Homo-oligomer: A and B are copies of this chain.
Amino acid sequence: MISFEKQAQSGLARAGRIQTPRGEIKTPIFMPVGTLGTVKAMTPEETRELGAAIILGNTYHLHLRPGDDLIHQLGGLHQFMNWPYPILTDSGGFQVFSLGKLNKLTEEGVTFQSHLNGDTILFTPEKSIAIQQNLGADIMMCFDECIRLPATYSQIEESIALTTRWAKRSKAARTTDQALFGIIQGGLHLELRQRSLDDLMEIGFDGYALGGLSVGESNQEMYEVLRSFANQLPESHPRYLMGVGEPEDILEGIESGIDMFDCVLPTRNARNGGLFTSLGKISIKQSKYREDPLPPDPNCACYVCQNYSRAYLRHLYLSKEILSMRLNTQHNLFFYLNFVRQARQAIQNDDYLQFKNAFLEKYKQA
């Protein structure tokens, strides 16, 4: 199991520590996404050296390929992928609703067709937990309904009721000492969010996550939920904002009292030539970088910025070299892990707002 301890606060922003059997996680934390048993383009050692304390695995993807039974047989996900540190697995809920074809939603669960081979598959709360137990994640997530928007108030109301029933079944299905987080749904309706949270707290989980954000609503709508609601999540437990997001979104989440974040942006953008820098995002493919001897981010201390020019990175990208995806990913993960580390430091100095404003002032220049 895990335990959480708050160490410092600055406004609502929190610095804390999650103890897990596989090591400590200092919060706030960004969790790189390792969909298919690898943080794309990185070795586990590199991901660790960049400062990652915990990474994400995807239940849906790993169930389809190579199969959680196989991973279990080979010693679990940690051993399979050579990452001995904490892993959080999602429940597959988001993916079965977004990637699977021809969903059929019943009280029992969701029937969908594999995006790989069209096989018909049923995911239930019990199935999701069984898979996550096979994978052996340190933190598991409840199987939730990710309702398609737009939806009416009463549709969302029904959906959070279903998510609550599934959360109960998820917890009941657990037969190990892996931690389990509940997922709060409710769209942009604060009273439904509160109801969802109350339901989940009554069941009792090791941490609480905000799901169903950053799914198409405006930034201001998401920020409004964060500002009004994030601090309602129990003080004593880790708070996780799922699938978010841009650096400014994460800073907003931290300011609202969130502890944990994950997002594919740093890794996915990297593979498309997009780099995060202290002066904003750049696209390395642009012709203005053709002869540019500067590193991607002159203010950055990462391996890439210490050793390579924009001109070289542009050449690698245009030549479709594998090293392009490696170096871009390495830089972006450093950027994310580093600014969240700085945010933690600022919270410990009770200086968070000043840090955030200074960061954004530079970042939004570009």
Contact = CB atoms under 8 A, between A and B. Distances in A.
Contacts of A82: 307-308, 312
Contacts of A326: 41, 43, 322, 326
A335 B43 CA distance: 20
Interface stretch (A66-74, A186-194, A255-263): A66-74
Interface of A is mostly: loop
Contact of A323 (B38, B66, B316): B38
Interface string A312-348: 1011101101110111000000000000000000000
A315 B66 contact: yes
A315 B37 contact: yes
Nearest to A330: B43
B41 A322 contact: yes
Contacts of A311: 66, 70, 74, 80
Given A80-B312, A311-B66, A315-B66, A36 B74 contact: no
A124 interface: no
A122 interface: no
| Stoichiometry, copies per complex | 2
A48 interface: no
A346 to B, nearest CB: 32
A293 interface: yes
A316 B80 contact: no
A40 B80 contact: no
A326 B38 CA distance: 12
A290 B323 contact: no
Contacts of A74: 291, 293, 309, 311-312
Interface residues of A, number: 35
A37 B323 CA distance: 10
A309 B36 CA distance: 15
A40 B70 contact: no
B315 A65 contact: yes
A291 B73 contact: yes
B73 A323 contact: no
- Which of A41, A65, A315, A325 has the most CB atoms of chain B within a 10 A radius of its CB? A315
Interface in A263-315: 290-291, 293, 307-309, 311-312, 314-315
B70 A36 contact: no
Contact of A70 (B42, B73, B81, B290): B290
A316 B42 CA distance: 12
Contacts of A316: 36-38
Interface string A34-52: 0011101111000000000
Nearest to A307: B82
Given A70-B290, A293-B74, A80 B309 contact: yes
Contact of A40 (B38, B73, B314, B322): B322
Given A80-B312, A308-B82, A315-B66, A321 B291 contact: no
Given A36-B321, A74-B309, A322-B322, 17 more contacts: A36-B316, A37-B312, A37-B315, A37-B316, A40-B322, A42-B323, A65-B318, A65-B319, A66-B290, A66-B311, A66-B318, A70-B290, A74-B311, A75-B293, A80-B311, A80-B312, A326-B326
15 contacts: A37-B312, A37-B319, A38-B316, A43-B323, A65-B315, A65-B318, A66-B290, A66-B319, A70-B291, A74-B309, A75-B293, A80-B309, A81-B312, A82-B308, A326-B326
